[in-house]
Structure 1
């Protein structure tokens, strides 16, 4: 059953996140374990981060649409230290990846890869969307394609 929350409840569910009118649909999608990106109804281009106007054709007919979550690692870095966060242990370098999504060249989403050895995380590796719970809310992450969830 889809989760529907008010704006105030949304802000409470994601404390510390920069929720705005433009990206609220993305966070509502996360509550339903659905990765949403903005897509223009005029030219069909996807764009992220969410903006009220298409950066390609300047149309204001943009809306949040689900993406498959399939893609390839475009960039990978490994953090040896960083801010304290639930579920992150920097004793083993923590992977942060930008994934180019299958929907469109240049459409990227940044997260982490779970369930993989760091040696297997590299540019060009195929990935699929997965979900973990972090601080009580669904968080989109990626798994190497072919690895179990």
Structure 2
């Protein structure tokens, strides 16, 4: 692994700390974050600059994708592209490594969800027929 100026070499390709790289890793089934080497802050999704100490000395870190629901909401009136899936749940999940990330929660009925529920991240690839979304999507399921 080679790290310099905000990129990591993965195979023969350098990966910048961008949202594009985040989704490329998701397509491989990996949840990746950027850790600041100067202060230890872990950022998911990654950023090219630490918001705490402004350092650009970063490293890629693979996360387990497991965590705990800290808050949630049930969406009953959804945007047009998600209307068929309503009602659905969006949760804020504190990953075991520390960061809190939003994500859809599947595999549990709205009346059975509660704060503190243990969940695991899963990755869904883009639809082959070219529908929306056109990028890999992550969501959570009860662990």
- With the shorter chain as reference, the TM-score category is 0.7 to 0.9
Q: Give every structure 1 segment of 4 or more consecutive aligned residues whose post-TM-superposition deviation is greater than 3 Å.
A: 133-138
Residue of structure 2 in register with 1:113 after alignment:
105
Aligned residues: 126
**Structure 1: 5+ residue runs without aligned partners?**
6-19
Q: TM-score, normalised by structure 1?
A: 0.71
Structure (1/2) with the larger strand percentage: 2
Cα shift at 1:84: 2.5
> Does the 8 A contact of 2:32 with 2:45 survive in 1?
no
Residue of structure 2 in register with 1:15 after alignment:
none
Residue of structure 2 in register with 1:14 after alignment:
none
| Distance in 1, Cα, partners of 2:42 & 2:19 | 14
Residue of structure 1 in register with 2:120 after alignment:
128
Residue of structure 2 in register with 1:139 after alignment:
137
Residue of structure 1 in register with 2:43 after alignment:
47
Cα shift at 1:139: 1.7
**Structure 2: 5+ residue runs without aligned partners?**
1-9, 129-134
Residue of structure 2 in register with 1:97 after alignment:
91
RMSD, aligned α-carbons: 2.8
Q: Among residues 26, 34, 55, which one is paired with 1:59 in the alignment?
A: 55
Cα shift at 1:52: 1.6
Q: TM-score, normalised by structure 2?
A: 0.74
